[in-house]
Amino acid sequence: MKFLSVISLFIIAMILGLCSLIHAQQPYVAKATTNCSNTGNSALGYSCNGLNRTCQAYLIFRSKPPYNTVASISTLLSSDPSQLSAINEVSETASFDTNKMVIVPVNCSCSGDYYQFNTTYVAQNGDSFFWIANNTYQGLSTCQAVRDQNRRQTTDIVPGERLNVPLRCACPTKNQTDIGIKYLLSYIIKWGDTVSGVSIQFGADTERTLEANTPLSLSNPTIFPFTTLLIPLQNPPSSNQTISPPPSPASPPPPPQPPSASPNSNNSSNKTWVYVLVGVLGGIVLTFIIGSIIFFAVFHKSETRKKSEPIFVSESFGAQEKPLNKKLDEESQDFLDSISSIAQSIKVYKLKELEAATDNFNPSCWIKGSVYRGLINGDYAAIKKVNGDVSKEIDLLNKINHFNLIRLSGVCFSDGHWYLVYEYATNGPLSDWIYSSNSDGKFLNWTQRVQIALDVATGLNYLHSFTTPPHVHKDIKSSNVLLDSDFRAKIANLAMARSAEGQEGEFALTRHIIGTKGYMAPEYLENGLVSTKLDVYAFGVLILEIVSGKEVAALYSEENMNLSDVLNDALSETNGKDSLRQFIDPSLQGNYPLELTILILRLIDSCLSKNPSDRPAMDEITQSLSRILTTSLNWESSVVSGYQYSRSS
C-alpha cells in the first residue's frame, strides 16, 4: 500500500513536470555567472526543455584582438568559417572592427541536462576559469560550466592544457514553437543595454524576450552586463541587425492574439490540449510499467555539489586592467610641458627649487619611503620622488578638488624621475595613531576616530559618485590616510586609482592583483574583479582597526578565521556587553558610548560582506557615520558638562 502511495505521488510529480516542460522557458542567469562557487542550475547552462534536443542556434560575439577575423573567431568558437562569413556577409579572409557584433551559427544540442555547443580552448599563462568564461568568451560560458565540463574540483589551470568550453545556447520550447519562434539567439549584454532595445534591434517582441528569460518581466526587466539574454527569433538574424546603432526597424510583428480571438486559435488550442492529454495518459501507463525503476533512479541520485557563500558583482566596474607602461623621458617631458596649460592649479617646479626646499633632500627632512618635508614660500609641503609613469595620477588629481583628498600642488621632472609636491599633513599617517601596540604615546579619542572614519568615507564617496568617470582608490589602508593639524583625514596615494567604468564590451577584472594583505576584497583576490565595492571592503577593515586598536594582520592571526567572522562574538547577544568592551581598543579606557559602538560594528560587518552587492554604497555609509558623529559629539558634550558639574559641586 505504501509503495502504491509513493508511485501515486510520483505520477502526480511526473504530470506536473510534463506540464512544466510544456510551458517553461529558460532561467536568466543574472549575476550568478560571476560567483564561481555557485553551482546553481542556471549557471551551468540552459535546461533541455525544448521541443527538440538539437537545433540551429546563434551566438553573438564581439570582435576584439586577437579574435577579430573570421578565421580567429571561427577557431575560438569552433564554428564553420564559411557559415560565419556568409551570415555576416563578409569574405572568409575578412577582419572585423573592434567591438563589432559577429553572428556565430552553431548546432545547439543537449548534453546531459543542459543545452550547449562545445568548443575547446588551450589555456594561456595567467588564465583562470573566470577569465576564460567572462573575458575570452565574453560571457558565452560561465566559470561554473567550464569547471563542470572539465570535472575540476580545484581552480588550478596549467598553461597549454586543452579545456572543453560549453557555450550557452538553447532550442525553442513547444510554447515558443507554437507562436512561430524558430531560433534562439544568445546575446551578450553590454553596458547600457535594455531588453526592449535589444529585442527591437533583432526584430523580436519585447514581451516574448522577457518570457524567454524568466524571471524577467515588464515590472522586473533588470539585466546585467556580460550575461546572455535569449532572443526568440522567427527568422535567422541578419548582418544589418548587428550595425550599431541599428537601422529603424519596420513595425515589429504584433504579439499573437489570445486563444479566444479566432476560430483558428481555438482549434490550435484544442489540438494542443489533446496532445497534452495523450502525453499525460501515456506517461501514466508507462509509469506503472517502469515506476519502481524510475523511483529508485530518482531518489538515489548522487548528492549535489556543496555551495559556498556567493560572491556577486556589483553594478559598476572598471575596464580590464593593464600594467603601466613606462614613458620615455621625451614623452614625460612633453607631458610636463603640457601641464601648465592643462592644470592651472599645478605648479611646475625646477629640481633646484625642490632641493632648496629640502636642503638637498637632507635626511633630517625625510618623512617615510621616498617622501621628504620641504619648505616652499613659507609653507610646508610633502615632496615625493616617483619612478615610472605618473601621468594618470596627475591627471586624476588635477580633476578632483575635495577637502578629504590630498591636494597635488606641483610637479617636477628631472633625470628620468618625477617629483610630486603635495599639501603637508602635519600629524602624519593614521597608522601612527590608532594601534594600541604603538609605544610613542599617540592617542585618538572616540569622537576623533569617528570624525576620521567619516572623513575617509566622504572622500571615497566623492571618488565613487562625483568624479567623471567614477574612480576606485584600490589601496585604502591606514598608512594612506593622512591627518592634518586638526586631525581631519585626507586620503593619499592615488597611484593605483582607476576608473570604475568598464570600457564597452570588456569585463571588469585584472590578472595583476596588487594591494595590501588583509585589505583586499575576496572577489578581487579570487577572480580579479574590480569595483567601487573594493574600497567599501577596505574601508570596513580600516574602521575595524580604528575601533579595535589592532592591525588587521593581528586580527587574522588571533582569530584564525575569516575577517567577517571576527565580529561574531562582539555582536552576539548571548555574550552581552562584556565581549563588546573587550573588542574595543582598551586605550580608550571605556570612554565611549557603548550603544554607538554596536552601530559602528554593524556597519563594519556590512562592509565586510563576502558578497559585494550586500555591501553598502559609500553614500549610505557617509550618512550613517554622520549620524553617529552627531550623537558622539552630543555624548562628549554631556560627559564634559557632567565632569564640570561634579567638580563645581
Write out the catalytic residue numbers: 475
Crossing angle for the helix pair 446-465 and 532-548, to the nearest 10 degrees: 180
Report which of 21, 83, 10, 87 is spatially closest to residue 52, judged by C-alpha positions: 21
Crossing angle for the helix pair 532-548 and 618-648, to the nearest 10 degrees: 20
Q: How far is CA 468 from the centre of its chain?
A: 19
Tell me the backbone φ, ψ of residue 51, rounded to 5 degrees. -65, -35
The answer to whether residues 431 and 493 touch, using CB atoms and an 8 Å cutoff, is no
Residue with cell 574590480: 530
Beta-bridge mates of residue 328: none
The answer to whether residues 555 and 570 touch, using CB atoms and an 8 Å cutoff, is no
H-assigned helices in 322-409: 329-342, 351-357, 391-399
User: Alpha-carbon distance 564 to 561, whole Å?
Assistant: 8
What is the β-pairing status of strands 114-122 and 101-111? antiparallel
Burial 205-215 (b: 16+ CB within 10 A, else e): bbebbbbbbee
The answer to whether residues 77 and 167 touch, using CB atoms and an 8 Å cutoff, is yes
User: CA–CA distance from 216 to each of 212, 220, 432 (Å)?
Assistant: 8, 5, 52
User: Alpha-carbon distance 616 to 317, whole Å?
Assistant: 16
Tell me the backbone φ, ψ of residue 372, rounded to 5 degrees. -125, 150
Report which of 513, 588, 516 is spatially closest to residue 553, judged by C-alpha positions: 516
User: Alpha-carbon distance 554 to 565, whole Å?
Assistant: 14
What are the residues whose beta carbons fall under 8 Å from the beta carbon of 469, sequence distance 6 or more? 499, 500, 501
Burial class from Cβ neighbours inside 10 Å (0-12, 13-18, 19+) for residue 201 reads buried
What is the β-pairing status of strands 379-386 and 417-423? antiparallel
The answer to whether residues 111 and 118 touch, using CB atoms and an 8 Å cutoff, is yes
User: Alpha-carbon distance 220 to 445, whole Å?
Assistant: 48
